[in-house]
Each structure stands twice: as structure tokens, then as C-alpha cells.
Amino acid sequence: MVAAKLDPRPVVYLLQAISSDCVRSKVVGPVLIVASKGDQHGESRQLAGNPIHPMLVPLPIGLFVFSFICDLIFMFGSGNAVWSTVALYAIGGGIIGALLAAVFGLIDLLSLDASKAKTIGIWHMVINLTVVALFIVSFLQRMGGPAESRLPVLLSLIAVLLLAVSGWLGGEMVFVHGVASARERQPKLPPTGLR
């Protein structure tokens, strides 16, 4: 058996790009975690050159929305209590994921200079914490109440609507104000032959 020779250039270029814009770095297993110098908006926690907060938020968002869909299927579809149970577990996972993402979001928020982006970031954080609080109340209501209760579903509906507003604010910070965006700093990598 002949081992295939791997082209090391992509890894070397990635490490050069990271180290050229790095304040602190730490190797954790196979991954390099860095605190980027950031742009005029401050420092961002990064994993292999990418901000950590945006990597974490899709999981709780997906779980929260999925839990609401499960509620709708239970209420207006099958009536099978399994859907209510699945919604409960999805909410539990979403709460854990959201709190983990919030830690890195707070770190990024605290590194921002006073600006319109920071004001938007504060609103983004407040709305997200409200969403998590609503889902925690919904989770606790589900744990102690009957599956047919409508209050937890109403709380989930309100939370999902607020989540959409918060997502729009997060997009505003990234796409309009350039927070955690390094488009202008990304080096042009030569072709590696890998496709």
C-alpha cells in the first residue's frame, strides 16, 4: 500500500494568514485558536481564522425553529405526543447551544469600539437573551404541564419571531458594518491543485 502524498501548501498558507493577523494563538488538538487583531471594530475570537460566534449560532437557531415546527405538527397535524417530546428535546439542545454561542458573542461585543455597530450588537444580545429566556420558560412549562398546553407553544412562537429580528440585526452588523468580516484582509492563495 502506497501512501498518497498530500500537498502541504494549503495548511502552510492558512497558518501564514492566521499568524500574520494574530495577537494570541493557541493550538488545541488539530485546531489553531487565535484572537485576531480584528479591524477597526475590535478583536474577535477565532477558530482556524473564522469567528467562533457565527459558527455556533446555526445549531440553536435550527433547533428552536425545529421545535416550533414540531409543535405545529403536534397541534394541527398528528396529535401524537412524540412531536411534543421531540420539541422539548430540541428546545433543551437549543438552550445549551445558544448559551455557548452567547459566550463568544459577548466576547466579540465587548471588543467593539463605541459605534453604531456596538449599539446594534447590544440590541442583538438583548433580544437573543430574551429568546433564550422565553425558551427556558417554555421548556419548564413543558416539563411540568400536559402536552396539550398552548402556553409553551405561544412562547415559542414569540421567541421564533424575535429570533428573526435578532438574526436581521446580526446580519446588519456583519454585512453593513463589517463586524467580524475580514474580506479586505484575506490573502490571495495560489492554486493548490486540489479540486
Q: What is the pLDDT of residues 134-154, one digit of tens each?
A: 999 999 999 987 767 889 999
DSSP state of 194: -
pLDDT over 60 (residue 128): yes
What's the Cα-to-Cα distance from 185 to each of 17, 45, 135, rounded to whole Å? 9, 16, 38
**Rounded percentage of the chain residues whose pLDDT exceeds 70:** 66
Closest CA to 136 of 99, 111, 109: 99
Q: What is the DSSP string of 52-77?
A: HHHHHTHHHHHHHHHHHHHHHHHHHT
Identity (one letter) of the amino acid at 151? L
Q: Does the global pTM surpass 0.75?
A: no
Identity (one letter) of the amino acid at 87? A
Residue 12 has what pLDDT? Answer: 45
Q: Where are the domains of the chain?
A: 53-176
Q: pLDDT: is 104 or 63 the higher one?
A: 63
List, for residues 10-67, the tens digit of each pLDDT value.
Answer: 444 444 444 444 444 444 444 444 344 444 444 455 665 567 888 889 999 999 999 9
Within 10 A of 7 (CB to CB), how many other CB atoms are there? 10
Q: Which residues pair with 46 in a beta bridge?
A: 34, 51
List, for residues 14-25, the tens digit of each pLDDT value.
Answer: 444 444 444 444
> Which has the minimum average pLDDT: 70-84, 122-136, 139-153?
139-153
Residue 98 has what pLDDT? Answer: 95
Residue 59 has what pLDDT? Answer: 95
pLDDT over 70 (residue 97): yes
Q: Rounded to an integer, what distance in angstroms lies between the CA atom of residue 180 and that of residue 136?
A: 29
